[in-house]
A and B are shown apart, each in its own frame.
Chain A
Amino acid sequence: MKQNDRIILDSTQFDLTIKRLAYQLIENHNDFSNTIIIGLQPRGTFLADRVVAELKAIDSAYNVQSGALDVTFHRDDYRRQGTPLVPSKTEMNFDIEEKNVILVDDVLFTGRTIRAGLDAMLTFGRPSTVELLVLINRRYERHLPIQADYIGKNIHSIVSERAKVSWVDTDGEDQVILYTPENE
């Protein structure tokens, strides 16, 4: 942590937030028999896995189908970045036709990743409904008319700041911080 870094969620708040998101999903999706949770690669899959684990902890009878979706080939900034984008694995071993899909990502910022995610998802079929769940919603920064249905926390930040979500499994701690990259 650097001097100007701000903790947005510490591990206790983080845990509560995930629990709340899980209960919100239960309110709208009953027993999840017609629901599919899709984490957007690379970082949305951590949140999707955590939410699915939380749902199963609440009621082991929930049979939640979940997958991971890579959006690289659908992005609009390919060739506008210095180095080509590296794809991650897509795991969609189910049919999304007529299902209720919940797309999951860690941070909603410009909305461009979600736009790519929608396009990538639609190549697998035509779901009945699509919702969006995010842990962090950076308000006032949208480039596209995209809003989340389930939000862990709304934050107000300036464009040069970055939100970083850390996960206990990969980074050692559940935490969200807002920081300013040094080279920008």
Chain B
Amino acid sequence: MSKLSVNHLLGIRYLTPEDINLIFETADHFKQVINRPIKKVPSLRDITIANLFFENSTRTKLSFEIAEKRLSADILNFSSSNSSVTKGETLIDTVNNILSMKVDMVVMRHPNPGAADFLSKHVDAKIINAGDGAHEHPTQALLDAFSMREKHGDLNGKNVVIVGDILHSRVAISNIFCLKKLGANVKVCGPLTLMPKYISSLGVEVVTDLKEALNWCDVAMMLRIQLERQDAKNFPSLREYSMLYGLDKELLDSLDKEVTIMHPGPINRGVEITSDVADSKQSIILEQVQNGVAIRMAVLYLLAGKID
């Protein structure tokens, strides 16, 4: 198989396991490319890509931008804070105006869940979801699973625990879909107030004891407490959260086995993870960032192949 089954990357839920493996195999090649003396290939030199960021982002935006440059695509960057969106322009109008400048692909981050889905039905371009509210963040899940695969091989039967604020996390949701599709066992860990009501319908088990979860898993993914999305008080204080669900060196060293530590960033150092853990040799946080570029190159390359 050499073709994706989808025309847009809106969420992991729409991908087949074969799609995910095709993206991984392609990303393997791109990872090689970005470690060469000349890190650029001409594959997308006739493609124009618009990066529309209606919400703040550092890593994802830079990662997409460099992936596009490594593929020789032309890029338009847009962020809503200094645009006509503040004058009341609708999403479709904004995007259609950009598309009339002959743009072939759109990478979009938006605060509303389903924004990418909505856009794909109304505009004529390939859409890549770079995070839509608490819905999905597919490229993050792909790069996380790709990093795990690099460290542990085939993910089938591997144990992964996702720790923290599952309720507000599109990363967690996309990761659960992705890991389940690849045959991994997934548990989520955190205070029950930060668990979505539908969590059991995703086929994952909830544990509230961090040490128990860590002793079970091969990989622990620590999520950021999303301070900007805590409109209700879901836990008494950051200090209490950190005592119960924060990962420090002492806890890590007390485990029976070596657990791989991941974090999608940005890190609240000292809250969900301490600095000595984040910078330890068990942590693959910086590998995740490098793999993010390779994964995004693979996604852009494969979707560009579907442009007529």
Contacts and interface: CB of A to CB of B under 8 A. Distances in A.
A124 to B, nearest CB: 6
B304 A79 contact: yes
A123 B36 contact: yes
B307 A79 contact: yes
Given A73-B42, A78-B43, A90-B29, A83 B3 contact: yes
A78 B43 CA distance: 7
Interface in A69-93: 70, 72-74, 78-79, 83-87, 89-90
Contacts of A73: 29, 33, 41-43, 301
A141 interface: no
A84 B37 contact: no
A84 B43 contact: no
Interface in B164-206: none
Contacts of B301: 73, 84
B36 A84 contact: no
Of residues A79, A83, A89, which shows the largest number of chain B Cβ atoms within 10 Å of its Cβ?
A: A79
Nearest to A73: B41
A90 B38 contact: no
A79 B26 contact: no
Interface residues of B, number: 18
B82 interface: no
A84 B25 CA distance: 14
A122 B26 contact: no
A119 interface: yes
Given A79-B305, A79-B307, A83-B2, A70 B29 contact: yes
A70 B37 CA distance: 16
Interface residues of A, number: 18
B237 to A, nearest CB: 51
Nearest to A78: B43
A74 B302 contact: no
A157 B114 CA distance: 56
Interface string B292-308: 00000000011011010
Contact of B37 (A74, A79, A124): A124
Given A83-B3, A87-B26, A119 B42 contact: yes
Nearest to A122: B38
B211 interface: no
Contacts of B36: 123-124
Interface string B273-306: 0000000000000000000000000000110110
